[in-house]
A and B are shown apart, each in its own frame.
Chain A
Amino acid sequence: QKEVEQNSGPLSVPEGAIASLNCTYSDRGSQSFFWYRQYSGKSPELIMSIYSNGDKEDGRFTAQLNKASQYVSLLIRDSQPSDSATYLCAVNFSGNTGKLIFGQGTTLQVKP
């Protein structure tokens, strides 16, 4: 069964610190990986996508992918209270349909 695993948290970090969110997936053939942010009561918002091994940076966010270890992570630098949300890792196991498998999400709390 194709699975995406995340620690549900909550992960608590002080304001200004680096938050590190982790995700593992079961299908070695997966090609596309995404991080979504979901505020309470709202729908998910795409914040990062990554397709190749290594790091991809966008502002305060860095996504890291290691296909050999089947591991993808999201780093948030200079964390702000407004970053407090649930972060969903999603993996595209089936490249043709675009269907995504979501992890359970990690709740991040950034304390002022």
Chain B
Amino acid sequence: GAVVSQHPSWVICKSGTSVKIECRSLDFQATTMFWYRQFPKQSLMLMATSNEGSKATYEQGVEKDKFLINHASLTLSTLTVTSAHPEDSSFYICSAKGDRLYEQYFGPGTRLTVT
């Protein structure tokens, strides 16, 4: 139980384009999902918290107009990186938490490379 999927697992895009990453909870309803970014040899950095049906809460320093988050259902959240630049290249990971689960379960991550 508590399986989270992400799609795509890797993506290469050109500078200036937008990329959408999907995060799905496969066997439970996730009232809250979290988006993280991780640079090589660094720890996870929380970008935002998204609750189903409401606006995401962004961490300090994260541009909400650049990283658009939508949590339209209890099993799906999306992160759109708009006008991507090479410095946005990173490993993006989502996690999901249900009301009856204390733990967060992570998706497999999406490796984004912006050329």
Contacts of B34 in A (CB 8 A): 98-100
A92 interface hit (Cβ, 8 Å): yes
Determine the distance from Cα of A108 to Cα of B48 in the docked complex, in whole angstroms.
29
Determine the distance from Cα of A105 to Cα of B43 in the docked complex, in whole angstroms.
7
Contacts of B104 in A (CB 8 A): 34, 46, 90, 98, 100
Contacts of A103 in B (CB 8 A): 43
Residue pair B43, A104 in contact (C-beta under 8 Å) = yes
B24 interface hit (Cβ, 8 Å): no
Residue pair B103, A34 in contact (C-beta under 8 Å) = yes
Tell me how many residues of B have a C-beta within 8 Å of chain A: 16
A42 interface hit (Cβ, 8 Å): yes
* Residues of B in contact with A (beta carbons under 8 Å apart): 32, 34, 43-44, 46, 49, 93, 97, 102-109
A14 interface hit (Cβ, 8 Å): no
Residue pair B49, A102 in contact (C-beta under 8 Å) = no
With beta carbons under 8 angstroms apart, the residue of A44, A49, A92, A104 that contacts B106 is A44
A44-B44, A103-B43 as given contacts; A92 in contact with B102, CB under 8 Å = yes
Contacts of B102 in A (CB 8 A): 32, 49, 51, 92, 98
Contacts of A36 in B (CB 8 A): 106
Q: Which of B34, B44, B97 has the most chain A CB atoms closer than 10 A to its own CB? A: B44
Interface readout for A85-98 with B: 1 if CB under 8 Å, 0 if not? 00010101000011
12 A-B residue pairings within 8 Å (CB atoms):
A32-B102, A34-B104, A36-B106, A42-B109, A45-B106, A46-B103, A98-B34, A98-B102, A98-B104, A99-B46, A100-B104, A102-B44
Residue pair B97, A98 in contact (C-beta under 8 Å) = yes
A82 interface hit (Cβ, 8 Å): no
Determine the distance from Cα of A42 to Cα of B109 in the docked complex, in whole angstroms.
7
Q: Which of A32, A88, A102, A103 has the most chain B CB atoms closer than 10 A to its own CB? A: A102
Determine the distance from Cα of A105 to Cα of B93 in the docked complex, in whole angstroms.
16
- Beyond A46-B104, A98-B34, A98-B102, 4 additional pairs, beta carbon < 8 A: A36-B106, A44-B44, A97-B32, A100-B104
